[in-house]
Copies of this chain bind each other. A is one copy, B any other.
Amino acid sequence: MPILVVGSVALDTVETPFARRESILGGAASYFSTAASLYDQVNLVAIVGSDFPHEHLDYWRSRRVDLTGLQIQEGKTFHWTGRYHMDMNTRDTLDTQLGVYGDFHPVVPQSYLTSQLVFLANILPDLQLEVLDQAPSARLTVLDTMELWIITAREKLTEVIKRSDVLLMSEEEVRQYTGLSSTLAGVRQLFTLGLKYIIVKLGSYGALLFGADGTYFSAPSYPLEEVIDPTGAGDAFAGGFLGYLSTVEPLANGIYDPDDLKRAVVHGNITGSFACSDFSIGGLHNLTMDDIATRYKELVACSHFDPNWQSSRR
């Protein structure tokens, strides 16, 4: 079941306390497409400038990423520059050059219209709405966003949330959007907008899944020896999550078996962990389903505990 994604394809300059890389492949849609294409075909809607290296396009073509919806326009590719703090969980944006994204309008090709799963990666809410208008057959829409849109485009963002099934937010974003300090209270307020599921991303601490039906799941994060670059981890998470869901049958439109949803979140944590293990998409580049399965088993082993609260050794 092919997955439609709209979002940024970018060139990033990233500084961590330990290293710096210039003009490496970045952007939410890049991370998402690379991770999700491990599971199923990805239909990409985005824009790059004439300076964008063709090797990245060749790589995606060699995977299952359809580039029919990728516009290539005279000008500069979107460029983000950021610096991570010592904890590798927080960062500062040093510079943003919109380039060809400045007057981008997404066009969904005819051949993408069979996509039943849609990922609206972090991008201006107006553009997310333009894609939804062009994707009438979507059965599951997953939405990501960021602090900037919560502050500057709250009304449009709310419109997108109302038309989405699954919302991805960090704890801080839940607080910012709802004005509530309690994550549980914030999530409850968000559900009044009609969402079916909400996933609260906790960075290196895993993720929380909430269902409008009462589903609650706390997913462990995969313990990494070393975080090289956490950029794109949330988008790679979305790629594993939606990628996994594309391989199973829903119970109804946008509704999944709780076991499948939990499994999808664990897959997302795993693809997210691989994204952190190198700069750019390096950690996802040669990933196989065997690598995913290995980490899945490790996560079961390190997070399950005896269901009896008392010991037999008394």
Which of A's residues lie within 8 Å of B, judged by CB?
17-18, 86-88, 171-172, 175, 181-185, 202, 205-206, 208, 216-221, 223-227, 247-249, 257, 259-260, 262-263, 266-267, 292-293, 296-297, 300, 302-307, 309-311, 313-314
Contact = CB atoms under 8 A, between A and B. Distances in A.
A248 B313 contact: yes
B263 A292 contact: no
B306 A263 contact: yes
Contact of A309 (B171, B205, B297, B303): B297
Given A184-B225, A257-B313, 13 more contacts: A86-B175, A87-B181, A205-B206, A208-B223, A217-B305, A218-B221, A218-B302, A219-B303, A247-B311, A262-B305, A263-B305, A266-B305, A300-B307
Contact of A305 (B175, B181, B221, B259): B259
A174 B262 CA distance: 31
Determine how many copies of this chain the complex contains: 2
Nearest to A298: B216
Contacts of A314: 247-249
A191 B3 CA distance: 46
B259 A311 contact: yes
A124 to B, nearest CB: 27
Contact of A181 (B17, B184, B221): B17
A224 to B, nearest CB: 7
A171 to B, nearest CB: 8
Given A86-B181, A205-B205, A311-B259, A220 B303 contact: yes
Q: Name the residue in A175, A205, A300 with the highest tally of chain B Cβ atoms < 10 Å from its Cβ.
A: A205
B306 A259 contact: yes
Q: Determine which residue in A181, A217, A259 has the highest number of CB atoms from chain B within 10 A of its CB, and name it.
A: A181
